[in-house]
Amino acid sequence: MPRTPELSSVHFKQKSQTFTFLQSRNINLRKKGRVAFFTSETHGSLKIVLDAPRCTESYLDIVSEDVASVLSLRLTRRLIACKRCKTSTFHSEKSEKSHKSTMAQIKLQNVQDFYEIGEILGSGHFGQVRELRERAGGTCWAGKFVKLRRSVSSRLGVERKSVEHEVEILQSLQHVNIMALRDVFESRAEIVLVVELIRGGELFDFIAEKENVTENEAIDFLKQILKGVGFMHSKQIAHFDLKPENIMLSDKNAEHPEIKIIDFGLAHRFDAGEDYKSLGGTPQYIAPEVINYEPLSVATDMWSVGVITYILLSGISPFQGDTDGETLRNIVDMKYDFDEHYFSQTSNMAKDFIEKLLVKNPKERMTAEECLLHPWIKPITNKQKANRSRSSINMKSFKKFNARRKWKMSYNMVWACNRLCRLHLLCKGDKEDEQLRSCESDQEDTETKPASLIRRRLSSSS
């Protein structure tokens, strides 16, 4: 590997670039404005000019690789920073020309300088969600502490680009029915998303607690869902994972609870003329074009709205099979009906609403705006309004569906936790084995009796 010249200079304009050197001692990396200086005892100095106002430690790292005996100086992403608030801005991996106005702000200070960290609200494979109290105004927020994946081969943690993607999406979706993003903080090991604190729980849980719910009440919630989805679609953003678990209430004790759409991990912003395909989503709620691996659009979300409405009114899932495979076949084959046993209390206009969403051709589905003008949502005549008032949700069936759904969620959570524990123990075991091997000697021990030496080797290999 060639020796790095004394005081050589590299101009860095790409989003990702790596410089590799022979490993040496007394390594130093310092930054001053747009310039970073890498110096080592062996190589002298390397001056790196960044095509950005400032470089931060999180994005300019020295990575030592002992096995290959090399040293990598890695610049992972272009940054733009504000000197006043020490806030960095990253761009997505999409074309900068397409999304110049869409940038996610990340504060490089400690989250505890701005918020008091409270109790744990939840946890998962990504990390923890904790209650935060703003030091300046006392407002409460939720802090999503996301553990970053340490390396490409690591099974634990979340990839940085996934978090960056979700942050970018949330920053461009400021709407009353979409979970708000307040702040983003970054450290070397994790990213903290400060988001709106949603205390009301899931919409389906709220409805399941009631004895009777009319179609009018259900429509009040659906309107809010449609307004949030419509706003997303106006920004050319599709959610791609609309389901009951991602439709929450800000405060269930409020007179008129507000819907909040959450979890934008699978969301995508469309470029003009883009053919985007994905197999992501939850089997019960995904559209036929997802299963068939065809180009997707914002209309894919409207299929999910149709499925959610069907379940909300009847308490059964339109395409649910005994297995995920059977469910997916039912979706592709459009196998669903309005069983009188479950839809006896449902108005014809509600069924018409669902039928115009569960359409195989995405171009023929109603848009969110068209849904808000549908006679079931916005009655044209007094007769339509009266029919809607007399109809109600099948509460007996709905309560059973929600109980099964919650049980399945609990089962999946326990399974995931057990899997993470096994992975942790496996990793721990590998480390112990490495330590054990490093301590053992392959040389003959002349002072040890042969029998004891054999026993020691057998015990270490078992």
Biggest CA–CA distance in the chain, Å, is: 101
At 37, the pLDDT band (50, 70, 90 cuts) reads low
At 189, the pLDDT band (50, 70, 90 cuts) reads confident
Mean pLDDT over 424-435 rounds to: 55
- Helix 382-390 vs helix 348-355: angle between axes, to the nearest 10 degrees? 90
Q: Under DSSP, is residue 185 helix (H, G, I), strand (E, B) or coil?
A: strand
Q: How many CB atoms lie within 10 A of CB 231?
A: 18
Q: Where are the alpha helices (DSSP H) in 128-250?
A: 160-171, 203-208, 215-234
pLDDT at 350: 96
d(CA 64, CA 69): 8
Judged against a pLDDT cut of 90, whether residue 424 lies above it is answered with no
Q: Is the C-alpha dihedral spanning 451, 453, 457, 459 positive or negative? A: positive
Helix (H) or strand (E) holding 175: none
d(CA 232, CA 172): 9
CB 214 within 8 A of CB 346: no
Most confident listed range (57-66, 146-155, 442-451):
146-155
Structure tokens at 142: 């939720």
Angle subtended at Cα 312 by Cα 351 and Cα 382, rounded to the nearest 5 degrees: 50
At 239, the pLDDT band (50, 70, 90 cuts) reads very high
Q: Find the range with the poorest average confidence among 50-54, 109-113, 130-134, 291-295.
A: 50-54
Judged against a pLDDT cut of 50, whether residue 18 lies above it is answered with no
Rg for the chain, CA atoms, rounded: 28
Q: What are phi and psi of 319, to 5 degrees?
A: -120, 10
For residue 447, the one-letter residue type is E
Characterize 151-168 residue by residue with b for buried, 16 or more Cβ atoms within 10 angstroms of its Cβ, and e for exposed.
Answer: eeeeeebbebeebbbbbb
Domains contained in the chain, CATH given: 8-78 (2.60.40), 87-196 (3.30.200.20), 203-409 (1.10.510.10)
For residue 7, the one-letter residue type is L
Reported as a single tens digit per residue, the pLDDT across 81-133 is 343 344 444 433 333 333 334 445 678 889 999 999 999 998 877 789 999 99
Judged against a pLDDT cut of 80, whether residue 35 lies above it is answered with no
More confident residue, 272 or 369: 369
Mean pLDDT over 148-173 rounds to: 83
Q: Find the range with the poorest average confidence among 48-62, 105-119, 279-293, 416-430.
A: 48-62
CB 216 within 8 A of CB 272: no
Instruction: Say if pTM beats, i.e. exceeds, 0.75.
Output: no
Nearest CA-CA partner of 199 in 262, 265, 132, 253: 253
Structure tokens at 272: 């003009």
d(CA 182, CA 317): 36
More confident residue, 122 or 297: 297
More confident residue, 445 or 391: 391
Half-sphere exposure of 235 (CA within 13 A, CB side): 22
Judged against a pLDDT cut of 50, whether residue 147 lies above it is answered with yes
**Parallel/antiparallel/unpaired status of strands 44-50 and 8-12:** parallel
pLDDT at 59: 40
Most confident listed range (101-115, 232-246, 387-401):
232-246
pLDDT at 21: 41
DSSP state letters, 42-90: TTEEEEEEESSS---TTTEEEEEETTTTEEEEEE-S--EEETTTTEEEE
Reported as a single tens digit per residue, the pLDDT across 410-421 is 555 554 556 556
Structure tokens at 354: 């669902």
Q: Find the range with the poorest average confidence among 105-119, 148-162, 191-205, 284-298.
A: 148-162
For residue 36, the one-letter residue type is A
pLDDT at 3: 43
Judged against a pLDDT cut of 80, whether residue 400 lies above it is answered with yes
pLDDT at 390: 82
Catalytic residue among 241, 301, 324, 337: 241
CB 90 within 8 A of CB 52: no
CA dihedral 204, 207, 212, 216 (to 10 degrees): -90
Q: Find the range with the poorest average confidence among 31-45, 101-115, 289-303, 382-396.
A: 31-45
Reported as a single tens digit per residue, the pLDDT across 207-219 is 999 999 999 999 9
- Annotation marks residue 430 as catalytic: no
Which 8-state DSSP code applies to residue 276?
A: B
Judged against a pLDDT cut of 70, whether residue 16 lies above it is answered with no
Structure tokens at 21: 């050197």
Nearest CA-CA partner of 173 in 118, 112, 229: 229
d(CA 378, CA 398): 24
Q: Under DSSP, is residue 118 helix (H, G, I), strand (E, B) or coil?
A: strand
d(CA 274, CA 272): 6
pLDDT at 315: 93
DSSP state letters, 94-107: S-TTT-TT--EEEE
Q: What are phi and psi of 75, to 5 degrees?
A: -110, 115
What totals of helices (H) and strands (E) does the chain contain, helices first?
Answer: 12, 19
Reported as a single tens digit per residue, the pLDDT across 310-368 is 999 999 999 999 899 999 999 999 999 999 999 999 999 999 999 999 999 999 999 99
Contacts of 311 (CB under 8 A, 6+ apart): 244, 317, 318, 398, 401
Structure tokens at 390: 């007399």
Reported as a single tens digit per residue, the pLDDT across 171-182 is 999 999 999 999
Helix (H) or strand (E) holding 334: none
Structure tokens at 356: 């115009």
Known binder of ligand: residue 385? Answer: no
Cα distances (Å, whole numbers) of residue 322 to 26, 130, 410: 63, 37, 19
